[in-house]
Amino acid sequence: MVTPSIDWEQQANQERLEGNYTKAIALYERAIETQPEQMSLYWHLGIVFLLQGQEEEAHTTWLMGMAEGSEEQIDLWTSELVQLLEIEAIRLEAQKNESAVWLIRQHIWEITPSNIHNVLNLMQLAIAAETLSDEELQNWEIIELLQTQAAGSINSDLLLQVLQKLLNFAPLHPSSIAFANACLPHLDRISGFRDVLLETAMTLAYSHKQPDHAISLAKLALKGNPQYPAEILGNLAGFYDYAHNYSLAIETAKQCYESMEALPDKVFATYLLIKTYMGRGGYWNEAVTALDQQEQLLLELLQQPPSVLDPVRARRLLTSTFFYPYLRDDPEKNRQIQNPIAELCQSYLQRDSPERVDKYYQHSQQRRVEAGAKEKRLKIGYISHCLRSHSVGWLARWLFQHHDRDKFDIYGYFINYQPLGDSLQDWYVSQMTRAYQVGSNSIEITDQIARDEIDILIELDSLTLDSTFTIMALKPAPIQVSWLGWDAVGLPAIDYYIADPYVLPEQAQNYYQEKIWRLPQTYIAVDGFEVGVPTLRRGRLEIPTDAVVYFSGQTAYKRHPHTVRLQMKILKAVPNSYFLIKTRADEEAVKNFFTQLADEEGVESDRLRFLPTDSSEEIHRANLGIADVVLDTYPYNGATTTLETLWMGVPLVTQVGKQFSARNSYTMMINAGVTEGIAWTDQEYVEWGIRLGSDRQLREEISWRLLRSRQSAPLWNAKQFTLEMENAYEQMWQKYVDGTP
């Protein structure tokens, strides 16, 4: 026979589970009247009072249950109460009742403040609510708890999860770094710990522009994973380079290379060495030596490729070919390496997700059939991490400004998006039919592109971001295109590379993997640039008012010593001339680099002026007005800097080569209506530099024509350019529907 008290308890439990707290309270009280010795009734009644918001009644009920117990009994009952509170918290958490969970866990903390798992759950709740504060962390004493807990006593999955959320929530806060350090003894053997730290470090360095914080996390990752030093050292070298700590960048890159054993890893480590040498400036010979070494490694790899390569190492393998066009103008030789490496990389990435690749392909084929039966608005997807205050961002914006929204739906995939108050990034978001502000998870982004049924996907990053070409390698869209970024990647999954009649020679198709799609006049056009107030004055730089001022404002990557020698020959031949040099590299190394070459060419070093970077793009453009002639770099020309120079009406001397990066300024000058300054040999480069420096009237004529060209030249007609891009998209789609190559 079932006693009435058991009936009441069961009924009370049922009412509590259904949220009928008033009825549950009455039933629990009735049950206690009949069985006052059953402690769980007091614990449950207190919990219901708590959920009703009657905290004082809850405490009174629990204390009443423990009133006459011994010390040992009270300890046991307290443990039982905490266990029931934990069970209730988990139940309510499953119901997404965060406020109730928070209330219960706060009371667990008040009862047992040393319960570290409860504190970790409290941290998760506060982070989710975006209310976590320093005061709470201090009250909970979480750092002290972590420091006093024995290794292996904490749920590592929960701890890692909280760490990741905390670093995402407040990556720059000192408490976050302190928490990460306190996690080290508990997570040091877990690879996920390294991954979380490195992922946050990369976000800090490249999105928040806080390389010093990134260095701290990378060092912590190195402490925690001594068995995996190469991956961490590689990232650490990049952070040092970004922080302009070039000596440590080079030293760390060397350590990374020495720790690598597998051939693909050695290829990547050599890339890091090249990057740090070139980033510092003045280490050109070392960079060339490292490139020769890397080329041999790549050729060896192509002869005996690994049967399997994980996605991370595959992506790094392709990125490793980044610096070839900076060091030599030999596109056919470069692409004989880059194209098969890209194909190999794609094969590894696709083998890692075969079902996904097959699903995308089948879906594309189905859409081809459907598209042939009816007209449709094309869905154009743009993917990049540069749709912000960045060279690509400044140039691409006019295409989005003039896109025909009646004919096209525009989707934007903002990789590594960070809400940093960037007005240009905000503008791009506003221009999209649909904008996705995503991280760097290639699989998630690829799946989203496929779900959106993008018809033509255009990438603007090329080899500057591995997440982008990983997405392109899986081919989530029927037609995939490269435009505007560094150069074509060489992936078979990318169908077209957009160029024009000038930026690539006719024979380029012989060595490009992608089909070159040439627009009629220019592959890029802008309607102009915003210009600020200049901050440079000749008097402040101790340059006479009647002097001839040459200018170069490129990155250290583009400072080829052979071209710098040609620039010194120009300077030597033009009396009363000065050379302004602006770069972001190691200031001392750059000065030594230029000064040594000037001395070897017989040019006085006091005719060189080294400038810091400007505080904004607008001021940078305004300061171009101090120059009489801009001397371009080779074999990697300016791109954005060339457009800005021409827009400001400043004559430019450029040398034309064979590769895309050696013909950028050429196509821009042609499309601005100016040929004076275009050189095809070293001798012509020097001759044009001398002539433009010596002939003031010619400079003024060129400047006048450049300023007039703003009204009529193709380079400054972004609306017409957009029409040509849209026509290209429509033709690409029709070819796809018709099944024609």
pLDDT of residue 523: 98
* Kind plus residue range of the DSSP H or E element containing 389: none
In this prediction, residue 261 carries a pLDDT of 85
Asked whether 143 and 179 are in contact (CB, 8 A), the reply is: yes
User: What is the C-alpha to C-alpha distance for residues 716 and 47, in angstroms, rounded to an integer?
Assistant: 71
Which candidate, 411, 462, 477, 415, places its Cα nearest to that of 442? 415
User: What whole-number distance in Å separates Cα of residue 339 and Cα of residue 388?
Assistant: 30
Record the tokens describing residue 567, joined without a space. Answer: 């620039």
Across the beta sheet with 378-384, the strand order is 434-437, 408-414, 378-384, 456-459, 479-482, 496-499, 515-518
**Non-local CB neighbours of 583 within 8 Å, separated by 6+ positions:** 281, 553, 554, 555, 556, 559, 590
CA atoms within a 13 Å half-sphere pointing along the CA-CB vector of 665: 28
Are 239 and 211 a contacting pair, CB within 8 Å?
A: yes
Residues 6+ apart with CB under 8 A from 89: 101, 104, 105, 108, 121
The C-alpha atoms of residue 438 and residue 430 are separated, in whole angstroms, by 15
Radius of gyration over alpha carbons of the chain, in Å? Answer: 32
pLDDT of the residue at 542: 95
In our burial notation (b when 16+ CB lie closer than 10 A, e otherwise), range 75-87 reads eebbeebbebbbe
Assign 480 to helix, strand or coil: strand
User: What is the full DSSP assignment across 158-223?
Assistant: HHHHHHHHHHHH-TTSHHHHHHHHHHHHHHTT-HHHHHHHHHHHHHHHHTS--HHHHHHHHHHHHH
The confidence score (pLDDT) of residue 3 equals: 46
Angstrom distances, CA of residue 609 to CA of 551, 583, 603: 9, 11, 13
Give me the amino acid identity at 267: V
User: Rounded to whole angstroms, how far apart are CA atoms 57 and 71?
Assistant: 23
pLDDT at residue 78, as a whole number: 84
Of 284, 631, 342, 617, give the one whose Cα is nearest residue 487: 342
Q: Which of 163, 283, 365, 152 is nearest to 560 (CA)?
A: 283
How many Cβ atoms from other residues are within 10 Å of residue 717's Cβ?
A: 22
Mean pLDDT in order along the chain per 10 residues (741 residues): 55 79 82 82 81 83 80 84 87 88 90 92 93 91 92 91 92 90 89 87 84 92 72 88 88 90 91 89 89 95 92 88 95 96 95 92 85 78 93 94 95 88 92 92 94 96 88 96 92 97 96 97 96 94 96 91 97 97 81 94 96 90 96 96 97 98 98 98 98 97 97 97 97 91 68
Q: What is the reported pLDDT for 41?
A: 82
Which DSSP helix (H) or strand (E) runs through 248?
Answer: helix 246-259
| Spatial CB neighbours of 467, under 8 Å, sequence gap ≥ 6 | 315, 385, 415, 416, 440, 442, 445
- From the DSSP assignment, how many helices (H) and strands (E) are in the chain? 33, 13
The pLDDT of residue 289 is 95
117/112 Cα distance (integer angstroms): 11
